[in-house]
Structure 1
């Protein structure tokens, strides 16, 4: 690891590459490096957990979006609402997603047919 030190010689940052900012190489078992890691790993682990929670929330949002799309489709199929009653922005987003899903299904079917034709 290459390190950046403060004026008191304490390690304040790490890099895997040497640069003007990180001029000094220290071995992985250097006591100062180990001390720096002990102080900073909990912060890194916390940031990693927050990122994990953020990814879970994004996945949940995507699932919820699909549920809402299905709900709109059901309500329009039953005649409870008409598609044109939805705000224009909602109509555009729903149509775009429907087109994307259709294109993805078409692409998957095309790839499956392609794979079959390559079999002996």
Structure 2
């Protein structure tokens, strides 16, 4: 993991020494520190309605169906890496309840 950190410009102390340590740190963050806040809501909203890139070679009529499909998979991947139930920290802060209403129908706990 530290090799990856060096490539990304991080110092050795900013990342765990191996994959097992990384997973343990990640699990702790998800279980105890992850929270639903305005920034999370903004990111999910942007993923749900992807904007057409400023290029001339993608016509708007082609972009709309592609964007809908891309948005669906962007939300699915973003939310799909999270646990099926909201972490303790999210529940304690009155965050998402497990409904998929705010995720464009995607499973998970992203709905507020």
State the TM-score bracket (shorter-chain normalisation).
under 0.3
Return the TM-score normalized by structure 2. 0.24
Q: More strand per residue: 1 or 2?
A: 1
Name which structure has the greater RCO, CA cutoff 8 Å, separation 6+.
2
Which is greater in Rg? 1
